């Protein structure tokens, strides 16, 4: 769905989208398990030319646990409230300085914004930095490589780092 500025000048736009698996491209690290469901509103404040997009996005993604490498499904359910302003006109290659208040503002250029791009960005920002199947995941044994969630290995964890052993002789 394209959020067109001309249309937003007349009235706010309410959106309710259910995008099938594969419509929004995600990183190859994730496998989309459910449609991307989004709802919200987009409105233009004509005096400031600010475009405000508010809503909620929901999707389920299959990914690999960073600790045990087993696949699991992560459910994303995020609300968003975004402000976009017209991109400043500058000479090609010129740099634009932004202040602290500009860090939470996006820019639009041309006749409007693509809603799918906004939704893709919000889903990716909602993903945790460390993807873990569950909080108590024990991970993989660094010595034998067994998944400690499935099998208790008998490996002894090395308490010291051998790279520092030369310092013991000083």
Q: What is the pLDDT of residue 43?
A: 94
Total count of residues recorded for the chain: 170
CA–CA gap between residue 167 and residue 87 (Å, rounded): 57
**pLDDT band for position 87 (cuts 50, 70, 90):** confident
pTM (predicted TM-score) = 0.78
Whether 98 shows a pLDDT value over 80: the answer reads no
Tokens read off for 66:
């960073």
């Amino acid at each position: 769905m394209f959020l067109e500025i001309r249309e937003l000048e007349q009235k706010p736009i309410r959106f309710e989208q259910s995008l099938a698996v594969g419509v929004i491209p995600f990183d190859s690290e994730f496998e989309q398990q459910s449609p991307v469901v989004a709802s919200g509103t987009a409105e233009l404040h004509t005096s400031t030319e600010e475009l405000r997009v508010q809503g909620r996005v929901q999707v389920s993604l299959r990914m690999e646990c960073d600790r045990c490498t087993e696949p699991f499904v992560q459910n994303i359910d995020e609300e968003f409230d975004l402000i976009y302003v017209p991109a400043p006109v500058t000479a090609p290659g010129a740099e634009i300085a932004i202040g602290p208040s500009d860090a939470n503002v996006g820019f639009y250029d041309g006749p409007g914004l693509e809603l799918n791009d906004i939704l893709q960005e919000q889903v990716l920002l909602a993903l945790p930095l460390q993807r873990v199947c569950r909080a108590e995941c024990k991970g993989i044994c660094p010595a034998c490589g067994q998944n400690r969630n499935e099998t208790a290995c008998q490996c002894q964890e090395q308490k010291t780092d051998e790279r520092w052993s030369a310092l013991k002789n000083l």
